[in-house]
Structure 1
Amino acid sequence: VVFYFTSATCPPCRVLSPLLERISQAYVQVDFYKVQLEKAPAVASAQQVSAVPNLKFYKGGGLVGNVVGANLEGIQDNLQHHAGMPSNLEALTAGPETVGSSTPKPRRPSAYGIPGHSDLSSMVMSTQAGALNQNNDQPLANLFTPGDAYLESDVDEQLLIYFPFNQAVKLHSLKFEGPVSHAPKTVKIYANRPNMGFDETESVQPTQVLELTEADYAESATTSLRFVRFQNVSSVTVFVEDNLGGEDITRVQRIIPIGTPIDGAMMSNIRQGEEE
């Protein structure tokens, strides 16, 4: 994920913006967001943005790159280092007249088929996440690592998982991955409830209760949330009460949040945002 911090009063930003839109069309595998200082000063302050244009590159929940100024070479170096080569080379060689044109661009329009939303995994601060009743041999860190590794419960089937975001988000869905026989079944979701213990899962009203089935673990499946209840989410607590197979332990490979950052606009809206 790339966050582009800009300002309505920044001349270099006006030069850089159309170039970044073309780059965003080329890097289909990367989500680009624009954050305007005048509209989101708290976000800029939290990210220690003191000058614009400023691009910050996030991967795996952490900051991996930072480019200040209209440094196109530095931007491209960071993208190639962290995201590989562009998926759509034609976008980089298109003429200026095609930028912002009505021709549909080959950007990824959705995450898991959900229009207007993206995978927010890169915004999870995994170093500040926590889990109760985890097996130390199969710990929480596995939950944020793509692959076959998994988080496993310890003394019984229950898990209490907490993860914060690096900025507030609108949370639309969750995608659960795991071996079906041991995968979570009854799941209580709590928005903005850090530092919970197991006792509180009985006394605190969850934001939503999910009853997962085997279909929720299909490769293309996602589990929708009641979007109106998740409009300003800074952290999520997930209480796994039991699993599909009625096993003594629960295993979960990934919990992928899907939604939209509150204080960011997709690069596809960059021209509209600068005209407002």
Structure 2
Amino acid sequence: MCDHGHGHGGGGCASEITEVLHADEGIEYNLDSMIDKEKVQVLNESVEGHGVRVFKPFRERLDKTFYVESDVDEELLFNIPFTGHVKITGITLIGDMDESFPSRIRIFKDREQMSFSDVEGAKPDQEMQLKMDDAGKIDYPLIVTKFGDVHHLTLYFPSNFGNDTTKIYYIGLRGQFNHSFRERIAIATYEARPMPDDHKHSIPETNHSHVC
């Protein structure tokens, strides 16, 4: 695990950053279509409903018409449900090249409806220092063994580079679809279905011989 101090220099988790060299590679950031956007919850957003708009197709990442900005302080918290189970392999962010850019992210898997008090006392599944990026060119890889099967993701941005509020234009998630909840239920139902061989010894014998 990386050093999660508050310094913003080199080393620590920042050393895990890899550059996205070609815009075409952005097609990997396709999990926005798997987000259940009607159920996304964003805490401390200054304008209600703006937070969910930062999850959009990668080709629209540079459109800064809509953005989310924190309200009373620099903290932002996203509760993100998916329409099925997904494997998440990386994340990228776009903001302004100034002190409003988030400086740190704490990520939680499958813990629904988290509040600020919840995240403050919980150990994240991954935590990283961030660098300013206004084009989505920095890729932050996630720990594959922890995010291989996810149905809910919580992103907590506890701080920025010094501004009173935090502003984000785009959050991209890369990975792949695993299966839908309906497919999962079908599989579980099939596995739980009793098979004839399991009960052949419990079926009563219907042919009886009687001696008079």
TM-score, length of structure 1 as denominator length: 0.51
Aligned to 1:188: 106
Identity %, equivalent residues: 28
1:142-178 Cα deviation digits (max 9, x unpaired): 3235421110100000011111111101100011111
Residue 67 of structure 1 corresponds to none
Counterpart in the other structure of 2:130: 212
Query: Once the 2 structures are TM-superposed, how far is the Cα of residue 128 of structure 1 from its aligned partner?
Result: 0.6
Counterpart position of 1:178: 95
Poorly superposed stretches of 4+, deviation over 6 Å: none
Given the superposition, is the C-alpha separation of residues 112 and 190 from structure 1 closer, same or farther in structure 2, using an over 3 Å criterion? farther
What residue in structure 1 maps to residue 6 of structure 2?
none
Q: Hey, what does 1:152 align to over in structure 2?
A: 69
Query: In structure 1, what is the equivalent of residue 143 of structure 2?
Result: 226
In the TM superposition, 1:94-105 aligns within 5 A as: none
Query: CA distance change for structure 1 residues 192 and 217 in 2, over 3 Å: closer, same or farther?
Result: farther
Q: What is the DSSP-based 3-state SS (H/G/I as helix, E as strand, rest coil) of the residue aligned with 1:135?
A: coil
Contact residue 121 and residue 256 of structure 1 kept, 8 A: yes
Contact 1:112 1:222 in 2 (8 A): no
- In the alignment, residue 171 of structure 1 is paired with which amino acid? I
Q: Which residue number in structure 1 is paired with residue 197 of structure 2?
A: none
Matches within 5 A, 1:1-276: 113=25, 117-136=28-47, 139-144=50-55, 146=60, 147-148=63-64, 149-181=66-98, 182-214=100-132, 216-244=133-161, 246-263=162-179
Q: Greater helix share, 1 or 2?
A: 1
The structure-2 alpha-carbon separation of the partners of 1:240 and 1:219, relative to structure 1 and needing over 3 Å to count, comes to closer
Name the SS of the counterpart of 2:54 in structure 1. helix
Whether the 8 Å contact between 1:133 and 1:154 is mirrored in structure 2 is yes
Are residues 247 and 118 of structure 1, via their aligned partners in 2, closer, same or farther at CA, if it must alter by over 3 Å? closer
Give the CA deviation at 1:251: 0.4
Q: Compared with structure 1, are the counterparts of its residues 231 and 153 closer, same or farther at alpha carbon in structure 2 (3 Å cutoff)?
A: same
The count of residues paired between Structure 1 and Structure 2 equals: 152
- Could you tell me which runs of 5 or more consecutive residues in structure 1 were left unpaired when the two chains were aligned: 1-109, 265-276
Q: Which amino acid aligns with 1:113?
A: E
User: What is the CA distance between 1:223 and its match in structure 2?
Assistant: 1.1
Deviations 1:193-241 (Å, cap 9, x if unpaired)? 1111111112111010010012x55443211111111011111111101
Of structures 1 and 2, the larger Rg is shown by: 2
Question: Contact 2:80–2:154 at 8 Å: present in 1 too?
Answer: yes
Match of 1:98 in 2: none
1:263 is paired with a residue whose SS is strand
With over 3 angstroms needed to count, the CA separation of the structure-2 counterparts of 1:111 and 1:194, relative to structure 1, is farther
SS of corresponding position for 2:102:
coil
C-alpha contact (below 8 Å) 1:160/1:238 kept by paired residues? yes
Q: Is the 8 A contact 1:157 1:249 kept in 2?
A: yes
Residue pair 2:47, 2:68 contacting (<8 A) in 1 also? no
Alpha-carbon separation, structure 2, partners of 1:209 and 1:236: 13
Separation in structure 2 between the aligned mates of residue 242 and residue 222 of structure 1, nearest angstrom: 19
